[in-house]
Structure 1
Amino acid sequence: MSVPVTSRRHVLQATALGVAALATGCAAIGGNTKPRVVVVGGGWGGLGAVRGLLAAGAADVTLVEPNESFMSCPLSAHFIAGFQPASDFQRSYARVDQLGARRVRERVLEIDRTKREVVTGTQRLPYDFLVLSLGVDYMEESIQGYAEARAQLPVGFRAFEQMAVRQQVDEFLVKGGNFVISAPKPPYRCPPAPYERAFLIAEQMKQRGTKGKIIIVDANPNPMPMPISKPILNGMKSLYSAQIEYMPNVDIRAVGMGKRQLNTSDGDIPFAHANLVLPMRAPALIRQAGLGERWAAVKLPSFQTQADDRIYVIGDAQGTPLPKSGHVAFGSGQQVAEAIAERIAGKTPVVATGEVDLPLGICWANVTHSEAININVSSTVSPGEPPKLKFTVDPEHNARSGAAAMSWGTGMWKAMLG
């Protein structure tokens, strides 16, 4: 399947508040009178915003990202399971630098909304508009004893954390035993990912003759989201009945590394290795800035925060029913970049009066290294109503979607960093 990464179905219409005229004057940097836009987070959403802003040429753009390079979480299960090297999913930020973004390799400690400044360990970055693409944080307190066991039980749902999970998988494939993978209740980043990891590790078990099993401990009654449940369960049954044990409706309460045992609502489960996918929330910066609690409170279709119309939150930290996926994050970043450029140009506000398309979600769940399930999510929103989501899902895994998944990833990485 060919996916044009630069096309978007959504119509850019925002509330009157969202596109209100700029306050008098934007401060200058070094004599440059362009408005200043700071983008925090160099992942899928942040890069969508940066590339869109640089293309528009209407602002001075600063990207704040502590990592020196980019690593994709989407598709990285192929690395975690040992099918592909990490380098296949890594890219340099060199192109962003060449296009004129100022890149600050630091962590943000605070957002000062009163002064409109982003505070790092060494500087205060003034902004006229702020785009936050912060990703997710883990709710470690949800499982008793997890915080103490963190180093031994990596989650691997943030960039570069996949390396630690890969080490666990490599050891398991040699030694065998019980490998537990958990799936929390939504919302969390990339709901198909726990099942995808289990599938690809199980494929390696079959190829290498590993003695043991993968136990999926699912807090949900079925694989999530519901539209993918049937093809996911079919993959377990048809390909990995000897390798995967599926335990739905089971909550993990505590972890004991001494006995290597999980205490669950269905009794104790011994394990040799475990990849516990924890419940998630937006990073603490959202709460520090007063932009929301578990997730950032935003307005659709603009992605402006409810607390501050000069701040946009995109990607997985925003609190709407939209899928927490890379494709939605990138599309949201592009949309926000265009909206900011229109605000800078002083264009007349357009108030949405009917149904508006939101960024398209495209996702893939690999069942084998070469076969996948394609998941498309189209979303719309009407004034005063919650978003409506429509899923289109492959009825079963297939080689066509397997090939399209990697082609999609390559195209998206080029759009971000090529």
Structure 2
Amino acid sequence: MHPIAQPRRRQLLQAAALGVAVLSTGCASVSTAARPRVVVVGGGWGGLGAVRGLLATAAADVTLVEPNEAFMSCPLSAHFIAGHQPATDFQRSYSRVDQLGARRVRERVLEIDRTSKMVVTATQRLPYDFLVLSPGVDYMEDGIQGYAEARAQLPVGFRAFEQMAVRQQVDEFLAKGGDFVISAPKPPYRCPPAPYERAFLIAEQMKQRGTKGKIILIDANPNPMPPAIAQPILKGMKGLYANQIEYLTDTSISAVDMGKRQLVTSSGDVPFAHANLILPMRAPALIRQAGLGERWANIRLPSFQSQVDDRIYVIGDSQGTPLPKSGHVAFGSGQRVAEAITERIAGKSPVVSTGAVDLPLGICWANVTHKEAININVSGTVVAGEPPKLKFTVDAEANARSGAAAVSWGNGMWKAMLG
């Protein structure tokens, strides 16, 4: 990877939020007579970052495999879940990707045949020269006894379009009241601030509508995660929602009984009227089927290449590094991988840095009210052979400036992906 000065790299990464491509370099070159084929699995933040970068720079045939017909953002969608905004505010069409020349396959990937370099769906075998995997997350349902049988009644809502089912539960709770349980698992999981943000925005609606009851926030951790956000999150919880949120820390959930509407926890049984159990997470089964890792894909930083196959890149929330599992990191990783593949196709030799290399910047927001948010920035560097180093910069408390910035950030990112 080309070494790039720290200020310049930061400027480029921050510009990505306004729709500017963030690109870096790749690894060993490849030369083929035919036009190279790049398959991207997953049409979320990471996959779209890769697709847009590839369509802009690579002399390649690009195929996007995504089962959903449209895009729905998980970042910022807590505003929909809590009833503050309509779902359409967070949805976009894939038409721009089609117009730019990507082939879009609306199917689920069943298998990756690494020997034949094929992505297998129910009806097709898609050959690839390079493969970018951004399949998101799966839920570890077996961690809570009885959850699998209650799945339809306890939607998690951490994957695109699942927010609809959670919204239905929230609407019923706000209308009828009672005890609404939200849980936060131990990391790593997608968007660590999200359980607290959901609790805040639902509690805000409780106050506005006069809902009788409370939110029971069951946290498997001793404090809100990651640790850098604990103080502003606790400040918002105690300052605004002391009467709406009961916060249980260091509490794990072992079983759910939907007949009794009761959770078995390490702090005792907890009855509930409604529940949004946010389960521990892992990479989808596709990663294990392809031999790319167990809970998460094993990759090399800063290239995001698989440790076992240098023609496969894994980005987004499936990759197993300390980088935050957030939309902004996924998008930046996709853009980096697009540049790497572009340079390999062009036959360029990689430039190996001997010092620290900047990693994709993480920009994230945790709303405490519909209009006020906590800004969370995560920067990172990595030296070859060493673990990455991360630095958090977090607002001391929620504020309207960050609330407005979160909206602008979202609109800028969605435009960069699908505008």
The TM-score bracket by the shorter chain reads over 0.9
TM-score by length of 2: 0.95
Q: Within 5 Å, give how 1:3-402 maps onto structure 2.
A: 4-5=15-16, 6=19, 12=24, 19-22=27-30, 25=32, 33-402=34-403
The answer (yes or no) to whether the contact 1:178–1:215 under 8 Å persists in 2 is: yes
Question: 1 CA distance for matches of 2:77 and 2:22?
Answer: 27
Shift of 1:34: 1.2
The residue type paired with residue 295 of structure 1 is W
Q: Distance in 2 between matches of 1:313 and 1:3?
A: 22
Alpha-carbon deviation of 1:350? 1.3
Shift of 1:334: 0.3
Structure 2: how far apart are the matches of 1:341 and 1:84? Answer: 39
CA contact (8 A) 1:69 1:92 kept: yes
What CA deviation, in whole Å up to 9, does each residue of 1:248-284 have, x standing for no partner? 0000010000000000000000000000000000000
Q: Quick one: which amino acid aligns to residue 276 of structure 1?
A: L
Matched residues in 1 for 2:390 and 2:43: separation? 27
Q: Is the 8 A contact 1:110 1:285 kept in 2?
A: yes
Identity %: 81
User: Does the 8 Å CA contact 2:22/2:335 hold for their aligned counterparts?
Assistant: no
Q: Is the 8 A contact 1:47 1:416 kept in 2?
A: yes
Q: How many residue pairs were aligned?
A: 405
Aligned-partner residue type, residue 32 of structure 2: G
SS in 2 for 1:108: coil
- Which amino acid in structure 1 is aligned with residue 342 of structure 2? A
**Would the aligned equivalents of 1:70 and 1:159 in 2 still touch at CA under 8 Å?**
yes
1:136 and 1:126 map into 2 onto residues whose CA distance is: 24
Q: Deviations over 1:375-403 (max 9, x none)?
A: 00001000111000000000000000000
- Report the 3-state secondary structure (helix = DSSP H, G, I; strand = E; otherwise coil) of the residue aligned with 1:213: strand
Q: 1:57, CA displacement in angstroms?
A: 3.6
Q: Deviations over 1:176-230 (max 9, x none)?
A: 0100000000000000000000000000000000000000000000000000000
Deviation track 1:275-298 (CA, whole Å, cap 9, x = no partner) reads: 000000000000000000000000
Question: Structure 2: how far apart are the matches of 1:354 and 1:43?
Answer: 32
User: Partner amino acid for 1:20?
Assistant: A
Q: Which amino acid letter does the alignment assign opposite residue 178 of structure 1?
A: D
The C-alpha deviation readout for 1:337-361, integer Å capped at 9, x for no partner, is: 0000000001112112110000000
Contact kept in structure 2, 1:9 and 1:360, CA below 8 Å: no
Counterpart CA distance in 2 for 1:3 and 1:39 is 24
Cα distance in 1 for residues equivalent to 2:254 and 2:67: 33
Post-superposition offset of 1:49: 0.2
1:236 Cα deviation from its structure 2 partner:
0.5
| Aligned residues: CA RMSD | 1.2
Cα distance in 2, alignment partners of residues 8 and 134 from structure 1: 21
CA distance in 2, matches of 1:232, 1:416: 30
Q: Distance in 1 between matches of 2:90 and 2:29?
A: 41
Q: Which runs of 5+ in 1 are unaligned?
A: 27-32
Letter paired with 1:190: C
- Look up the match of 1:29: none
CA contact 2:25–2:343 (8 Å) conserved in 1: no
How far is the alpha carbon of 1:3 from its aligned partner? 5.0
d(CA) in 2 for partners of 1:371 and 1:221? 25
Evaluate the alpha carbon distance shift between residue 101 and residue 299 of structure 1 in structure 2; reply closer, same or farther with a 3 A threshold: same
Counterpart of 2:417? 416
What secondary structure does 1:287 align onto? helix
**What displacement does 1:21 show?**
2.6
Equivalent residue number for residue 30 of structure 1: none
Q: Offset at 1:13? A: 5.2
Conserved 8 A contact 1:364-1:405: yes
